[in-house]
Amino acid sequence: MELVKVTIDNKTVSVPSDYTVIEAAQIAGIHIPQLCYHPELTKEGACRVCVVEIEGARGLGAACVYPVNDGMVVHTNTPLVRETRKTVVELLLANHPQECLICQKNNNCELQTIAADLGIREIPYTGEKRNAKKDESNPSIVRDPNKCILCGRCIRACQEHQGLDVYAFVNRGFKTLVEPAFSYDLGEVTCTYCGQCVAVCPTAAICEKDDTEQVFDALGDPNKYVIVQTAPATRVALGEALGLPAGEIVTGKMVAALRRLGFDKVFDTDFSADLTIMEEGYEFLDRVVNGGTLPMITSCSPGWINFIEMKYPDLLPHLSTAKSPQAMFGALTKTYWPETQGIPLEKIYSVSVMPCTAKKAERVRPQLQSNPGIPDVDAVITTRELGRMIKNAGIDFKNLPEEKYDSPLGVSTGAAVIFGVTGGVMEAALRTIYAVLNEGKDIPGINFMPARGMEGIKEATVDVPINGNNVTVKLAVAHTLKNARTLMDKIRAGEADYHFIEIMACPGGCIGGGGQPQPVNAEVRAARTAAVYRVDEDKTIRQSHKNPDIIALYDNWLGKPLGEKSHHLLHTHYKEQPREV
Amino acid sequence: MVEKTLEKSWEQLNQLLESYRCTKGSMIPVLQQAQEIFGYLPKDVLIKISKELDVAISQVFGVVTFYSQFHLEPRGKNIIRSCQGTACHVRGAKAVLDAIRERLGLKDGQITTPDNEFTIETVACIGACGLAPCLMINDDTHGRLTAESVAPMIDKYYNNKK
């Protein structure tokens, strides 16, 4: 790409000629406030908060969509620019509920930050206010259209990342709203609850359903025995919610914080991720050897499960029947733990900390009840919600000591933690499958690099001996539902000769999940991903089948992978979720 | 009888969609013609159009709600267009409109009578300012109206259709 010279606030930078002013300003280290702009989405130029003065141009230009040209001179901080931005934000605030103090996004709201930065002290405009219905119809996501500033980020995230188009602008003028088709609730349309709209919403118009209060209630109840599990991707992101930089590994501090919050047992979803590999790995081998449905597709990501149940119900037999790690863990907390510890089932309250909004909906699936009528997981909180609980409890997170998970459901391997990134489940499964088929010999190098990286769809092959024959196993890894759709269409058309496919609904996998701290962008995801691989490298045991507590669990209680007990507790079934639109 | 017409309408819709297949930017003409076939745009029709044109249903709904020419509810046999332009406004168009709504027994926000005889909508100007306040019923223009004179006029249409 040809380079052009642009001077912004007296600083000259060379940038590619297809940049817009806002991108050039980033290179120059100059911050321009932004609301509708998001670095990973199509530029819209809707909010006008990013206006700048461009010499020779008529009027002010929106920096996010204004293309650069050679010799361009831009001023981002003149009296006219400041005055205009201020007016733009004042007008937005004129139709925005003045309830920041009691808002879920208080202190974490882009509109609030901009209003503060611009020094807005009064809202000079009064007029009609939007009065739209709040959507609290589902277990995962709450929409409050009255807090919407019509930036359209959610529309674009859903369309461009997930290919689902749940939202669109509806009506016109003052009556404009962002709504699903026919103004249906999210629960009535093809929404997978992946939460990518939540992740990009600059205000509190789209939030995770807050379940912190019920967790606090359980923790305060002396008759409850409260167990918590923490998903792989939470340990590399929670720090961001508490003032630490992206990609900081806070596993030990998170465990310490959970103890201080009062959890009776602090366990790790990583343990059940190892368990998932055992069940899913053996299921894969069983399908290959006995002619089961192939390709087999992973089933850990609940947004993905909702997607296939809504959009590709004919392909459900391809899904691994292995429950997700959260669900396996939930099952253990309501069967193995009360049984072996002598704790009455009704005392146990099982909480999970997830990077995911869709996990809240997974929790209420009727298929996930080991004891009829009793959900295996009682509450799901996102990484963001845990961050808020830690603040609420006055815990000085940064200065906490590093503590260890409780035993035995807290011991895990490096294979488990990489469940948090795209390609991780595939890599973890391969580490075990390869060893099982090669008389316990490790896969060369342990790491399986072709599964790694941020490419949308990755393909790889690996040679393994099956029944005395050398078989080339074909693999595919996809993240985002848009890429998942590409693979599903290939399977439907009979053009996919893969054996094993991993799919995660969110960009980058769970580290980019809809329940993770904001903001999320490519750099943040890269930092979290690198941290996940660091945790893996630092583990002495890096293959699920070598986890001593997994081995002990099978020996003492479960029997064998795909055995009868596993079948009842660790496997599930799927059902079409028909949707009108 | 009604069933048969509906069946015919769907047949026409299929023909319409066939003629626009693979044509980019065809959503608005398709919606307009579909509305001509059905009289309004029922949900099923929008879903069908969304699938056939491969445009997300949320986007189709967005377009339909953006333009006032599209209607999501069935419309009456008689369409009343009550002018609320400047000239009509200063000569009491609001009172005329209220009188019509009262006569038709329309509740807040309702624009079509339950018996589907009348739909009333407001327009900005029908180019008959000299007759203000005025309105159109179907293709007829009526002017110099008062709240008192408008009701019997409406009744005439009602009776006509009977």
The CATH number for B108's domain is 3.40.30.10
pLDDT confidence band for A467 (50 / 70 / 90): confident
pLDDT of residue A451: 95
pLDDT of residue B22: 80
Q: Please, which residues bridge with residue B136 across strands?
A: B81, B141
Instruction: Find the mean pLDDT for residues A127-142.
Output: 95
pLDDT of residue B1: 46
More confident residue, B69 or A144: A144
- Same domain, yes or no: A457 and A375: yes
The answer to the question of residue A456 being in a domain is yes
Contact (CB<8Å) B58/A181: yes
Contact list in A for residue B59 (CB cut-off 8 A) is 165, 168
Residue among A172, A182, A580 minimizing CB distance to B61: A182
**Which range marks the domain in which residue B131 is found?**
78-161
The CATH number for A308's domain is 3.40.50.1780
Q: Is B151's pLDDT higher than 90?
A: no
The answer to the question of residue A109 being in a domain is no
- Same domain, yes or no: B60 and B124: no
- Same domain, yes or no: A442 and A505: yes
The answer to the question of residue B29 being in a domain is yes
Q: Is B2's pLDDT higher than 80?
A: no
A478 contacts: CB under 8 Å, gap ≥ 6:
A422, A456, A457, A458, A484, A486, A487, A501, A502, A503, A504
Best interface-test mutation with B: which of A165, A191, A579 has the largest number of B CBs within 10 A? A165
Instruction: Find the mean pLDDT for residues B54-83.
Output: 94
Contact list in A for residue B47 (CB cut-off 8 A) is 580-581
| Domain end position, chosen among A156, A187, A208 | A208
The CATH number for A149's domain is 3.30.70.20
Is residue A58 packed enough to be buried (19+ CB in 10 Å), middle (13-18) or exposed (0-12)? exposed
- ipTM of this predicted complex? 0.92
From the list A419, A420, A335, A421, the residue with the least C-alpha distance to A377 is A335
The answer to the question of residue A453 being in a domain is yes
The secondary structure element, H or E, covering residue B5 is helix B2-20
Contact with chain B for residue A489, Cβ under 8 A: no
More confident residue, B154 or A113: A113
Instruction: Find the mean pLDDT for residues A347-365.
Output: 98
pLDDT tens per residue, range A374-402: 999 999 999 999 999 999 999 999 999 99
- Same domain, yes or no: B84 and B30: no
- Same domain, yes or no: A201 and A316: no
**Helical axes B2-20 vs B27-38, angle rounded to 10°:** 160
Residue among B43, B47, B61 minimizing CB distance to A168: B61
Tell me how close the Cα of A382 comes to any Cα of chain B, in angstroms: 28
Domains of chain B: total: 2
- Same domain, yes or no: B82 and B62: no
Q: Is A279's pLDDT higher than 50?
A: yes
DSSP string, A364-395: T-TT--SBTTB-S-SEEEEHHHHHHHHHHTT-
**Which range marks the domain in which residue A13 is found?**
3-91
| Domain end position, chosen among B11, B31, B66 | B66
pLDDT of residue A469: 87
Instruction: Find the mean pLDDT for residues B86-98.
Output: 95
Q: Is A428's pLDDT higher than 50?
A: yes
Residue among B50, B58, B60 minimizing CB distance to A180: B58
Contact list in A for residue B61 (CB cut-off 8 A) is 168, 170, 179, 181-182
pLDDT of residue B3: 59
Distance CA B122, CA A325 (A): 59
Instruction: Report which residue type is found at A244.
Output: L
Task: Determine what percent of chain A is predicted with pLDDT higher than 70.
Answer: 100
Residues A485, A467: contact at Cβ < 8 Å?
A: no
Contact with chain A for residue B51, Cβ under 8 A: no
pLDDT of residue A539: 96
Say whether B136 sits in a helix, a strand or coil. Answer: strand
pLDDT tens per residue, range A308-326: 999 999 999 999 999 999 9
Instruction: Find the mean pLDDT for residues A115-120.
Output: 96
- Same domain, yes or no: A64 and A200: no
* Average pLDDT value over all residues in chain A: 97
The answer to the question of residue B7 being in a domain is yes
Q: Does pTM surpass 0.80?
A: yes
Contact (CB<8Å) B59/A581: no
pLDDT of residue B162: 42
